[in-house]
Structure 1
Amino acid sequence: MTSPTPRLTPLGVTVLALLIEDDMHPYEMLRLMEQRRRDRIVSVTKGSVYHTVSRLEAQGYIAEAGVDRDGNRPERTRYTLRPPGRDAVPAWVIEELPRTDRPAAFRVALAEAHNIPLDTATALLTQRRDALRVQLDTLREGITAARDRGTPDQFLIEFERELALLDADLSWSDTLLDRMSNAPIPWGDDGRSDPAQYALLRKAAQL
């Protein structure tokens, strides 16, 4: 019997997504995550990154690619993606991008959505937008019904907050989907910053 595919954590997906770009050592991964502010959406510490790299290697997603030696700096082991790791990122993004019930995972999926085709990302985000609209309408009807029954407003404050957040999310989703459909965002390899600038940022992350 084939063993089930190990469930990836958001940080694990972020590490694998970095290795799609190139082989890296964990310290460079950490620095690039900080540069790109991924530490706002996943818990990023030196310990968590090294632990995640070790776990991904044990699970067969990545493998050692060599050891960097530079002057008096400590030796740094570089890692490369194995085929399961390369396939895992788009599969994870496709699973999480249309969902509305896992906000933390959605933020990572959105940050890594450029690893799937633009039309696929657009379709999945459209599914999510449609689900948000249903939730918004259902919640609005529930609040109206509660008020009609005489429920005091003090008991509805949290629901009003949820309604406002859903409304904002829906508005943002509509704006993003309009951009993705009518003024396509540079995507995937085409969306990477200027190659010279990218090289400088990678160099800075290696120091």
Structure 2
Amino acid sequence: MPTTSPRLTPLAVMVLALLREDDMHPYEMVRVLKRRRDDRMVSITNGTLYHTVGRLHEQQLVVEVGVDREGNRPERTTYSLTEAGRGAVVDWVRTQLPQNTHPDRFRVALAEAHNLDRTEVISLLTQRRDALTADLDTHLAGLGSAADRGVPDQFLVEVDRQRHLIQTDLAWTENLLTRLADPAFAWGVTEDTPPDPLGLHS
């Protein structure tokens, strides 16, 4: 078992989360991730995926469970998630979900947030909402100060754009928190949840 928390890339987290669904070989991982359009969030190539799986194996987060060959194709090693790997996904999401400084990591954390229970997700997103609110206040104060000093708008377009992005993100986060607070909004994996919710292994 690893003695320290592993440092994971967003792609590594996506691989571990995928193996929570079923054992797979890297070729199938690439196919499923691309079919789900997860390459919108991170770059996915055969080379990076195989390298990532190799690193996860070294970190004892995944384990080899079989090797198969079809025709003249190269052997394909199937991997399964270890308990350490299962915990690593949850720990990473817990760390990244309340953050508002790394949009690429947040997108992956949000995509895998269903691995946490509803109450914890609400708490983590509430922390992020508060951070966004503070960030928005800082931007508004900066823009107000710049206006008082007569700074031309041409030097403020990037700051103004960021203000709009924060406001949009904040409104979206508030809406999601409202939806999560409603028991009718299904969350997490239950006995009624199919093992492949997007139907991509059929």
Given the superposition, is the C-alpha separation of residues 188 and 74 from structure 1 closer, same or farther in structure 2, using an over 3 Å criterion?
Answer: farther
Kindly indicate whether residue 138 of structure 2 is the aligned counterpart of residue 138 of structure 1. Answer: yes
Offset, 1:12: 0.5
Cα distance in 1 between the residues matched to 2:165 and 2:175: 15
Paired AA for residue 200 in structure 2: L
Contact kept? 1:140, 1:163, Cα under 8 Å: yes
Contact kept? 1:61, 1:84, Cα under 8 Å: yes
Paired AA for residue 36 in structure 1: R
Query: Normalised by the size of structure 1, how large is the TM-score?
Result: 0.89
Q: Which residue of 2 aligns with 1:67?
A: 67
- Runs of 5+ in structure 2 lacking a partner? none
For residues 138-185 of structure 1, the C-alpha deviation after alignment (integer angstroms, 9 at most, x for no partner) is: 211110111011111111111110100001101111111111112543
Cα distance in 2 between the residues matched to 1:129 and 1:5: 27
Offset, 1:71: 4.6
Q: Which residue of 1 aligns with 2:200?
A: 201
Give 1 or 2: higher helix fraction: 1
Q: Which residue of 1 aligns with 2:176?
A: 176
Q: Which residue of 1 aligns with 2:150?
A: 150
Paired AA for residue 162 in structure 2: E
Given the superposition, is the C-alpha separation of residues 197 and 187 from structure 1 closer, same or farther in structure 2, using an over 3 Å criterion?
Answer: closer
Cα distance in 1 between the residues matched to 2:196 and 2:146: 59
Cα distance in 2 between the residues matched to 1:153 and 1:118: 43
Cα distance in 2 between the residues matched to 1:19 and 1:184: 28
Q: Which residue of 1 aligns with 2:117?
A: 117
Cα distance in 1 between the residues matched to 2:35 and 2:91: 25
For residues 39-89 of structure 1, the C-alpha deviation after alignment (integer angstroms, 9 at most, x for no partner) is: 010110111111111111011111101123445544321101112111100
Cα distance in 1 between the residues matched to 2:63 and 2:201: 21
Q: Which residue of 2 aligns with 1:80?
A: 80
Query: Normalised by the size of structure 2, how large is the TM-score?
Result: 0.91
Counterparts of 1:17-96 in structure 2, within 5 Å, are 17-96=17-96
Per mean C-alpha deviation after superposition, the further-off stretch among 186-195 and 106-115 is 186-195
Cα distance in 1 between the residues matched to 2:22 and 2:90: 16
For residues 103-151 of structure 1, the C-alpha deviation after alignment (integer angstroms, 9 at most, x for no partner) is: 1111110011111111111110111011101111121111011101111
RMSD of aligned C-alpha atoms?
Answer: 2.1
**Aligned-pair identity (%):** 52
Per mean C-alpha deviation after superposition, the further-off stretch among 137-146 and 7-16 is 137-146
- Runs of 5+ in structure 1 lacking a partner? none
Contact kept? 1:185, 1:191, Cα under 8 Å: no
Aligned residues: 201
Paired AA for residue 61 in structure 1: L
Cα distance in 2 between the residues matched to 1:68 and 1:137: 57
